[in-house]
Amino acid sequence: MAIALEQTRTASRRRISRHRVGRVVGHVLTYLGIGVALVFFLGPFFWIVTTSLKANNDYFAFPPVWIPDQPSLAHYVRLFTNSSGFRYFSNSLVISTLSMAAAIIVSLPTAYAIARWRFGGGVLSTVLLVLRMLPAIALIIPLYIMYKALGLTNSYLGLVIAYTVLYIPFAVWLLVGFLRDFPIEIEEAAMIDGCSRLGSLVRVVVPIIAPGLAVVALFAFIATWNEFLFAVVLTGIETKTMMVLVTSFTSGGTDMFYGEASASVVLGVLPAFAVAFALQRYLVKGLALGGTKG
């Protein structure tokens, strides 16, 4: 009897230690997998950044020099001066900021109408799906003709209008979600105190859902910052964005302008890095539902 008990205990101890080994191996494999993924997904950025800091003899050397021992910002300086990088970076900044602000200003009331008054029935999700299916190329052809006639090409206004409207459906959709979670009693209290609808929206709702607004704003910023087709067709020498600038370094192979090319990529992906860190918690919701695609 005692021996049988002893045997069961040893067997169960063996089972337990097998489980523990299994768990450790599982952990190691998991973190190994994550490590490989990190190298694969972030490695390119690492190389681009180091390349943007390299001097000529570093870039053209073999055996390859992976990390320059005398990093310099010469390429960035040249990008900003010779290639008008400063102007185009500001263009992107201005256009994205204005579009983001305009999108929110126009979308918030609309989202309110839908959240509070079920405006438009259940049309919104259908509209969203339809717009998702729409390729930008279908829109840019007639828009280009219209803009040319109105003189809106090569202007901030033209691009901001287009970007704002393109992002309204997403902004509305995200905001409807935030507004639905908003307790209506607070609004009612404000209106009993004499606030108008609009007033209550602006003075009561907005401050409280401000974090949500910030999320939508940042996603809108990224979507418009990354947009390419409209930018390449509708901008001219004064209004080019960073996305268009990067394409001027592709002719003749990427070796001739490697410094400007890598520097402009670094600048072009800055917002993505910034927003990713700022919005870690919202990434699943916003990204997964397409909030960063224009």
Site for other proteins in 176-195 (CB under 8 A): 180, 184, 188, 191-192
**Min dist. Cβ of residue 98 to other proteins (A):** 14
Nearest to 115 by CA among 31, 174, 55, 51: 174
Measured distance CA(132)–CA(66) in Å, rounded: 41
Max Cα–Cα distance, the chain, nearest Å: 98
CA distances for 22 relative to 11, 26, 27, 158, angstroms: 16, 6, 9, 60
Of the two residues 70 and 280, which places its CB atom closer to other proteins in the complex?
Answer: 280
38 binds other proteins (CB under 8 A): yes
Binding status of residue 117 toward other proteins by CB under 8 A: yes
By CB under 8 A, how many residues form the interface with other proteins? Answer: 109
15 in contact with other proteins (CB under 8 A): no
Q: Is 200 in the site for other proteins (CB under 8 A)?
A: no
* Interface with other proteins (CB under 8 A), residue from 42, 67, 123, 210: 42
Those residues whose C-beta lies under 8 Å from the C-beta of residue 133, and which sit 6 or more positions away, are: none
Residue 207 interacts with other proteins (CB under 8 A): yes or no: no
User: By rule CB under 8 A, what string of x and - marks binding of each residue 143-162 to other proteins?
Assistant: xxxx-x-----x------xx
Q: 83 with 75: CB under 8 angstroms?
A: no
* Residue closer to other proteins (CB basis): 45 or 72: 45
Tokens at 181, concatenated: 């979670």
d(CA 261, CA 255): 9
Judge if the upstream peptide bond of residue 207 is cis by omega within 30 degrees of 0. Answer: no
Question: Toward other proteins, which CB reaches closer, 13 or 180?
Answer: 180
Please state the φ and ψ torsions of residue 126, each to the nearest 5 degrees: -65, -45
Q: Which 264-283 residues touch other proteins, going by CB under 8 A?
A: 264-265, 268-269, 272-273, 275-277, 280-281, 283
| Residue 5: CB minimum distance to other proteins, A | 23
Q: Whole-angstrom Cα distance, residue 190 to residue 221?
A: 32
Site for other proteins in 47-76 (CB under 8 A): 47-48, 51, 59-60, 62-64
Angle between helices 85-117 and 156-180 (to 10 degrees): 40
Q: How far is the CB of 208 from other proteins (least distance, A)?
A: 16
Would you give the binding string for other proteins spanning residues 219-258, x where CB under 8 A is met?
---x--xxxxx--xx--xx-----x--xxxxxxxxxxxxx
The residue among 97 and 248 lying less far from other proteins, judged by its C-beta, is 248
CB 90 within 8 Å of CB 243: no
Nearer to other proteins, 6 or 18 (CB): 18
Residue 5 lies near other proteins (rule: CB under 8 A): no
**CA proximity to 47, closest of 251, 266, 254:** 266
C-beta closer to other proteins: residue 162 or 216: 162
